[in-house]
């Protein structure tokens, strides 16, 4: 790894720690530079044009599902039995890291109070994942693997099926008391989803 790549990774690591401890508003370029042991905050601007760009890059590097949908062309032809569990695992694994849990709590709180934070978080994460799912599900309809339906709704529905499991990790420990693992939940959720949208079977006359 080159010195430039090392420095960039160093900044991203420091930014992640700052955002996870202070949220988007509380973390500053100065505090991130200090955490990264940089001589000057100006060095950050050599790699990132502004704090929002740095924040987006932190999310990209720390949220597995965003890495999964980075190259959608490679996924479009794969069957939903393979792709949907991959998306679900990438999404739920966000909340396994304590620092990531802390950051998501802070960001969700900020997003509720500040529309500009909601816009950044929405466009950086939610819009990208839903956008991929809509494109993917539409292609699966074209291939005949799913019945025709409104993919805007089905993309939301699929992500909605994962929210309680994620919420159990970040906010509501009581949800996890029944011991349901991520893999158990993903298997059942994908099965329910695909049984509802699978191609209609022809009835023999």
Position 82 scores a pLDDT of 96
- The domain segmentation of the chain, as residue ranges, is 1-62, 63-200
Q: Which residues contact 77 (CB under 8 A, 6 or more apart)?
A: 139, 143
- Cα 187 to the chain's mean position, in Å? 19
Q: Which of 73, 142, 43, 71 is nearest to 14 (CA)?
A: 43
CA-wise closest residue to 48 among 9, 22, 19: 9
Residues 65-121: tens digit of each pLDDT: 888 887 788 899 999 999 999 999 988 988 887 877 777 777 887 888 888 888 888
Whether the full predicted model's pTM is greater than 0.75, yes or no, is: yes
All residue ranges of the chain with pLDDT < 70 are: 1-2, 201-205
Instruction: Report the pLDDT value the prediction gives residue 204, as an integer from 0 to 100.
Output: 53
Q: What CATH topology corresponds to 1-62?
A: Arc Repressor Mutant, subunit A (1.10.10)
Q: What is the CATH number of domain 63-200?
A: 1.10.357.10
């Amino acid at each position: 790894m080159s010195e430039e790549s090392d420095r960039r990774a160093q900044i991203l690591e420091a930014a992640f720690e700052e955002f996870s401890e202070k949220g988007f508003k509380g973390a500053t370029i100065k505090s991130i530079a200090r955490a990264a042991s940089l001589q000057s905050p100006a060095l950050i601007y050599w790699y990132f044009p502004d704090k929002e760009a740095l924040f987006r890059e932190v999310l990209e590097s720390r949220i597995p599902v965003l890495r999964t949908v980075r190259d959608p062309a490679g996924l479009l032809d794969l069957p939903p039995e393979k792709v949907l569990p991959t998306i679900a695992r990438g999404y739920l694994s966000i909340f396994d890291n304590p620092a990531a849990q802390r950051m998501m709590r802070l960001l969700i709180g900020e997003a509720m109070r500040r529309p500009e934070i909601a816009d950044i978080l929405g466009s950086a994460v939610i819009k990208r994942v839903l956008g991929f799912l809509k494109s993917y599900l539409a292609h699966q309809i074209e291939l005949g693997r799913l019945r025709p339906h409104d993919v805007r709704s089905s993309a939301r529905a699929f992500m909605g099926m994962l929210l309680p499991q994620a919420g159990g990790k970040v906010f509501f420990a009581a949800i996890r008391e029944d011991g349901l693992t991520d893999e158990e939940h993903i298997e059942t959720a994908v099965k329910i989803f695909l049984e509802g949208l699978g191609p209609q079977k022809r009835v023999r006359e």
